[in-house]
Amino acid sequence: MTVEVLKTDGSKAGRTVTLPSELFAIEPNDHALYMAVKYYLANQRQGTHKSKEKSEVSGSTRKLHRQKGTGGSRKGSIKNPLFRGGGRIFGPKPRDYSFRLNKKVRDLAYRSALTYKVKDQAVTVVEDFSLENHKTKPYFSILKNLGVADIRSILVVDQPDANLLRAARNIEDHQIVRASQLNTYQILNCRRLLFTESGLKQLIQRSSANN
Across 120-127, average pLDDT: 95
pLDDT score recorded for residue 206: 85
State yes or no: pLDDT of 207 exceeds 90: no
If asked whether residues 75 and 150 sit together in one domain, one would say no
Across 63-82, average pLDDT: 90
Averaged pLDDT of the chain? 93
If asked whether residues 179 and 124 sit together in one domain, one would say yes
Per the CB < 8 A criterion, the answer to whether 105 and 184 are in contact is: no
Q: How far is CA 96 from CA 38, 47, 50, 169, in A?
A: 14, 6, 13, 31
pLDDT score recorded for residue 98: 96
pLDDT score recorded for residue 161: 86
What φ, ψ does residue 153 adopt, rounded to 5°? -145, 165
pLDDT score recorded for residue 74: 87
pLDDT tens sequence across 144-168? 999 999 999 999 999 888 999 999 9
State yes or no: pLDDT of 119 exceeds 80: yes
If asked whether residues 139 and 200 sit together in one domain, one would say yes
If asked whether residues 71 and 84 sit together in one domain, one would say yes
Range of the domain at 12: 2-46+98-210
Q: How far apart are CA 18 and CA 67, in angstroms?
A: 80
Across 111-138, average pLDDT: 94
If asked whether residues 76 and 132 sit together in one domain, one would say no
If asked whether residues 60 and 37 sit together in one domain, one would say no
If asked whether residues 200 and 148 sit together in one domain, one would say yes
Q: Considering its fold, how many domains does the chain have in total?
A: 2
If asked whether residues 10 and 74 sit together in one domain, one would say no
- Categorize the per-residue pLDDT at 53 as very low, low, confident or very high, splitting at 50, 70 and 90: very high
If asked whether residues 128 and 62 sit together in one domain, one would say no
If asked whether residues 41 and 138 sit together in one domain, one would say yes
pLDDT score recorded for residue 73: 87
State yes or no: pLDDT of 106 exceeds 90: yes
If asked whether residues 192 and 145 sit together in one domain, one would say yes
pLDDT score recorded for residue 156: 96
pLDDT score recorded for residue 211: 64
If asked whether residues 141 and 171 sit together in one domain, one would say yes
CATH of the domain at 206: 3.40.1370.10
Give percent above pLDDT 70 in the chain: 99
pLDDT score recorded for residue 1: 81
